[in-house]
Amino acid sequence: MKNNSISTLVRENILKLQPYISFRDHNEFNAPVFLDANESPFGDCNRYPDSTQRKLKNRLAELKNLSPSQIAVGNGSDELIDLIIKIFCEPKKDSVLMMNPSFAMYAFYATINENKVLTLDLNDRFEIVQNDFSEVVKDPSLKVFFLCSPNNPTGNSVDDIEFYLQNFKGIVVVDEAYIEFSGKKSSLELLDRYPNLIVLQTFSKAWGAAGARAGIAYASEEIIRLINTVKAPYNVNVLSQELILKALENENRLQENVNNILEERLWLQEQFRDIDCISKVFPTDANFFLIRMENIDQVYGRMLENEILTSRRDPAIAGCIRINVGSREENQKLVNLLKNIKR
C-alpha cells in the first residue's frame, strides 16, 4: 500500500476535523502564570496533564528506536481501538474483521460505532485458515483488521503477519498486549514497510501497570496525527504519565517480572500434567493458559467457592477456562484445589 492511499481509508468528516490544541502544551515558557484553563490554583493535582504526553513519547521513542511522531498514547489500548474504528469506519457502512475467538473489545467498539463485525473462525489449533481469509477480504466494506498476537484468549501467536499486511487493503492492527511473554519479534520492525500497519502495546501486562490505564499505538506519522486529532484533549492523566515514566526508568525490572512469570508458567505446565480434571492445556505464548476441563461446571464452581477467579470461555470455546499466571502462592493454591477435583 502506498503512503498516499491512507487518506482514502479515512472517514471524510475526520479528514476535515480540527484537533483540540492546548496553547500551553504547544509552547515553551520559563515561569508561566496559569490563568488560561479555569483550573484551581490550589491542590496537589490541580493542573491539567500534558495533552501531548511529550515526555512519555520521547522516552518510548528512545526505547523503540522510533520518532515521537509515530507514537500515540491512550487511556488503555481500549481507547485506541475505539479511536481507530472511529477514524476509519463509517457507521452503518464499513466493517471490521477479527479472529474468532479473540479479544471481545474489537467487536464491542465496532458495534457501538454501528459497524458490522466479520469474523475468521480459527481452526482446532486456533490458527487462521488463509484460504478463509482470502475469501472474506473480498468484502468491499472491510476497513480494519484486528490481529491479536499472542491471541487472547487462546494464547498462541499469529504466523506470517506480513501475509495479512500484503493482502488486506485496509488498516491492519496488530495487538501485541502479550508480546513480552512470547519470545517473538514485534511487528514494530515492519512499520517502515507497511503504512497500513498499527501496532498496539500496553503497560497493563508485562509492565504490571494495569491500574494506570496506558496503551500505546505505533504507526506512520499520518495515522498518529489522525489519532491525536480524534482523541480527547487530556486523555491520559498526570498520575498515570508519571507512573509510566518512573517504570520506564528501570527496564531491568520489566525483564525480571517477565522472567518470573515465564518461570511460573513453566512450573504450572508441569503441575497441570498430573491433574485429573484437565483434559487439554493449549500451547501459550502469553501470561495465561487456555485449559479444557473434563467437568467445567464442577471445576469452575469449586474455584469460585474458593475465591479463585478465572475467565470461563465456555460455551464459546467448549469446556475451556482461561487462567492467568499468578505468583507462586496464587499458583500453588490453584494447583492444590485442582488436584482435589476428580473427573
| Residue 188 maps to a domain | yes
Which pLDDT belongs to residue 206?
A: 95
**Residues with Cβ within 8 Å of residue 322, at least 6 apart in sequence:** 153, 288, 289, 290, 291, 310, 311, 312, 313
Output the domain CATH number for residue 285.
3.90.1150.10
258 and 219 share one domain? no
Which pLDDT belongs to residue 190?
A: 98
224 and 131 share one domain? yes
229 and 303 share one domain? no
Distances (CA, A) of 120 to 102, 133, 146, 156: 10, 7, 11, 15
Which pLDDT belongs to residue 2?
A: 46
State the amino acid at position 275 in one-letter form. I
Which parts of the chain sit beneath pLDDT 70?
1-4, 343
Residue 245 contacts residue 223 (beta carbons within 8 Å): no
DSSP single-letter state for residue 104: T
- Angle, in degrees to the nearest 10, between helices 251-272 and 238-248: 80
Count Cβ neighbours within 10 Å for each residue of 304-337 and write b for 16 or more, e otherwise.
Answer: eeeebebebbeeebebbbbbbbbeeeebebbbeb
179 and 156 share one domain? yes
**Residues with Cβ within 8 Å of residue 156, at least 6 apart in sequence:** 125, 126, 127, 150, 282, 283, 284, 285
287 and 243 share one domain? no
134 and 89 share one domain? yes
Of 190, 219, 249, which residue constitutes the final position of a domain?
249
Of 219, 249, 279, which residue constitutes the final position of a domain?
249
How far is residue 106's CA from residue 90's CA, in Å, rounded to a whole number? 15
In total, how many domains does the chain have?
A: 2
DSSP string, 38-67: ---S-STT-SPP-TT-HHHHHHHHHHHTS-
The SS3 assignment for 250 reads coil
Residue among 295, 338, 301, 339 nearest 318 (CA) = 295
| Residue 2 maps to a domain | no
Q: What is the pTM of this model?
A: 0.95
Which pLDDT belongs to residue 250?
A: 87
| Residue 135 maps to a domain | yes
188 and 102 share one domain? yes
What's the domain range around 241?
Answer: 10-249
Number of neighbours of residue 60 by Cβ within 10 angstroms: 21
Query: Is the alpha carbon torsion for 128, 130, 132, 136 positive or negative?
Result: positive
155 and 272 share one domain? no
166 and 220 share one domain? yes
Of 233, 249, 265, which residue constitutes the final position of a domain?
249
Which pLDDT belongs to residue 291?
A: 98
| Residue 190 maps to a domain | yes
70 and 94 share one domain? yes
229 and 276 share one domain? no
| Residue 1 maps to a domain | no
**N residues, the chain:** 343
187 and 276 share one domain? no
| Residue 66 maps to a domain | yes
Output the domain CATH number for residue 183.
3.40.640.10
